[in-house]
C-alpha cells in the first residue's frame, strides 16, 4: 500500500528501506492470538491440550505478522528497479503503508508494483500448502499441521484482501491508476479511490456492529477491526497525497531561515550551554570551524550524558555530529525530498547547504506545518 505512517513500536532496515512497526500491531496480535487459541484450533483440531492451542496460536500469530512483512517486502524489493524506490514502510494490522520519494511513476510501473504483493502472498500460500501435504505424508504432529494450515489460509486471505478494489490496498492502487488513465487527473482519481475505501470501511464497521448485536461477537469484532483499518489507511493515504501536491515544485529556500547561528567547534561545551542553549532556546545548532566552514551539528541531546565537570574542558568538536545526507540537504532540492527525509529520520531541523557544502540556512518542520495549514 501507499501512504504515510506514524506511531512506531520499533524500526528495522531491509533492502535499503526502513520498516516501522505500528503500535496497532500490539492489540491486533493479542486479538488474533486469542481468536486462534479459543476458536480456530479447537474447532479444526479437537481434543488437544489447552496449552498446545495457546502455543500454536502464538506461533501462528507470529507467522501471520511475518507474512504481512513478506508481502510488503516484495513491494519494496521490486520498487528498487523502478523510478519509485520506497524510503520506508509502516506495518499496520493487515498491511503496510509505504512512503516513496516519487509518486509520479508510470501506470505500468504502478500496476506492476501493486501486483507484486498479492503474487508473493499467493506463492507463500502455495509453499505452505506443499509443506502441509508433505507433513501429512511423513506423520507430522497434528498441532504442527494446524499451524501450516493456518499459514496457508492466512496468506490466501492476505493476497485476496489486498486485491480488493479499495485504495490504498493493491487492488485499489490499480483502480486508481485506471481512473487516472481515463480521467487524466491523478488528484480526482485519488479522491474517488479514497472515498470508496472510506465508504467500504464504514460499511464493514456497521456490519460488525450488527453482528455484535446479533450475538456474533468474534465475527463482529473482526469486521470492525478491518473497517477501522480501511478508514485509517485511506485517510492517511489521501493526506499524504495532498501534502505532496502542496509541496511539489516548492524549493527549500522558500522555507529556510537564512544565516543561522553557527557554534564555533573550538569553544567548550560549558560555554555552548550557557551562551547558546540557554539564551537561544534552540534544539540544534550548526557547528563551524575557525574559518566559518560547516563541519556538522550539535544538539542538546548530544551532551545529555556529559557531566558538568567534563563540560568545562571538552570542546564542541568532541560532540559534533558530522554532516551526512540525514541532517543536510542542498538548497536547490525539492521540498518533497525534504519532507521524506524528515519523515524517515525523525529530524525536525535540517541544515541547508550549497553546492560546495557551505551553510546557507536552517529549515524547521514547524515552518512547513505553517505552510500546510494555509494551503490545505
Check whether residue 198 and residue 317 sit in a common domain. no
pTM, to two decimals? 0.63
* Nine cell digits for residue 6: 506514524
CATH number at residue 291: 3.10.580.10
Which cell goes with 369? 506545518
Rg (CA), the chain: 25
**Domain presence at residue 88:** yes
What pLDDT is attached to residue 135?
92
Q: What angle do CA 173, 155, 237 make, to 5 degrees?
A: 25
Are both 239 and 271 inside the same structural domain?
no
240 and 259 part of one domain: no
Helix (H, G, I), strand (E, B) or coil at 326: coil
Distance CA(330)–CA(376), nearest Å, equals 26
User: Are residues 25 and 140 both part of a single domain?
Assistant: yes
- The CA-based angle 94-95-98, given to 5 degrees, is 160
Are 209 and 147 members of one domain? yes
Query: Residue 73: inside a domain, yes or no?
Result: yes
Asked, for residue 342, whether it belongs to a domain, the answer is yes
Angle, to 10 degrees, between the axis of helix 142-162 and the axis of helix 107-137?
Answer: 160
| Residues 231 and 306 reside in one and the same domain | no
Domain boundary among 247, 271, 302: 247
Element (H, E) at 351: strand 349-353
Domain that holds residue 340: 252-375
> Does residue 229 share a domain with residue 313?
no
Residue 1 placed within a domain: no
Among candidate residues 207, 228, 247, the one where a domain is terminated:
247
Tens-of-pLDDT digits for all 376 residues of the chain? 444 344 455 566 665 666 777 777 788 888 889 888 988 888 888 888 999 999 999 999 999 989 988 888 888 788 777 655 555 667 766 776 665 555 555 677 778 888 898 999 999 999 999 999 999 999 889 889 999 999 999 999 899 888 887 777 888 788 877 877 777 766 677 777 777 777 888 888 888 888 888 877 767 777 888 888 777 777 777 777 777 776 666 677 777 777 677 888 888 988 988 888 888 777 788 898 887 788 888 888 888 888 888 888 888 888 888 888 778 888 777 776 777 677 666 677 888 888 777 788 888 777 777 766 665 5
Q: Is 2 a member of any domain? A: no
Q: Which residues of 131-141 are buried (b: 16+ CB within 10 A; e: fewer)?
A: bbeebeeeeee
| Domains of the chain: total | 2
Is 188 domain-assigned?
yes
* 28 contacts 91 by C-beta, under 8 angstroms: no
Amino acid at each position: 500500500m501507499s501512504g504515510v505512517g506514524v506511531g512506531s513500536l520499533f524500526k528495522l532496515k531491509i533492502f535499503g528501506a526502513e520498516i516501522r512497526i505500528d503500535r496497532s500491531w500490539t492489540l491486533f496480535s493479542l486479538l488474533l492470538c486469542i481468536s486462534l487459541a479459543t476458536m480456530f484450533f479447537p474447532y479444526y483440531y479437537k481434543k488437544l491440550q489447552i496449552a498446545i492451542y495457546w502455543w500454536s496460536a502464538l506461533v501462528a500469530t507470529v507467522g501471520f505478522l511475518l507474512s504481512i512483512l513478506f508481502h510488503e517486502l516484495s513491494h519494496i524489493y521490486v520498487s528498487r528497479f523502478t523510478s519509485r524506490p520506497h524510503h520506508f514502510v509502516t506495518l499496520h494490522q493487515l498491511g503496510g503503508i509505504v512512503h516513496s520519494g516519487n509518486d509520479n511513476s508510470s501506470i505500468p510501473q504502478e500496476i506492476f508494483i501493486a501486483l507484486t504483493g498479492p503474487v508473493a502472498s499467493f506463492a507463500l500460500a502455495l509453499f505452505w500448502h506443499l509443506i502441509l501435504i508433505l507433513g501429512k505424508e511423513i506423520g507430522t504432529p497434528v498441532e504442527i499441521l494446524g499451524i501450516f494450515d493456518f499459514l496457508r489460509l492466512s496468506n490466501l486471505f492476505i493476497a485476496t484482501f489486498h486485491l480488493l478494489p479499495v485504495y490504498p490496498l493493491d487492488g485499489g492502487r490499480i483502480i486508481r491508476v485506471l481512473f487516472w488513465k481515463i480521467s487524466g487527473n491523478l488528484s480526482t482519481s485519488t479522491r474517488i479511490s479514497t472515498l470508496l475505501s472510506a465508504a467500504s470501511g464504514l460499511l464493514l464497521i456497521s456490519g460488525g456492529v450488527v453482528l455484535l448485536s446479533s450475538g456474533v461477537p468474534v465475527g463482529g469484532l473482526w469486521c470492525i477491526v478491518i473497517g477501522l483499518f480501511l478508514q485509517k489507511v485511506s485517510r492517511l493515504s489521501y493526506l499524504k497525497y495532498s501534502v505532496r501536491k502542496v509541496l511539489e515544485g516548492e524549493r527549500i529556500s522558500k522555507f529556510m531561515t537564512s544565516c543561522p547561528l553557527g557554534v564555533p567547534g573550538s569553544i567548550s561545551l560549558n560555554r555552548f550551554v550557557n551562551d547558546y542553549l540557554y539564551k537561544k532556546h534552540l534544539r540544534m545548532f550548526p557547528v563551524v570551524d575557525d574559518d566559518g566552514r560547516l563541519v556538522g551539528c550539535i544538539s542538546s541531546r548530544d551532551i545529555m550524558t556529559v557531566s558538568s565537570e567534563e563540560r568545562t574542558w571538552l570542546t564542541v568538536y568532541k560532540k559534533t555530529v558530522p554532516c551526512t545526507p540525514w541532517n543536510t540537504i542542498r538548497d536547490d532540492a525539492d521540498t518533497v525530498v525534504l519532507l521524506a527525509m524528515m519523515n524517515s529520520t525523525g529530524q525536525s531541523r535540517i541544515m541547508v547547504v550549497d553546492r560546495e557544502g557551505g551553510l546557507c540556512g536552517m529549515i524547521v518542520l514547524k515552518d512547513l506545518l505553517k505552510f500546510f495549514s494555509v494551503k490545505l
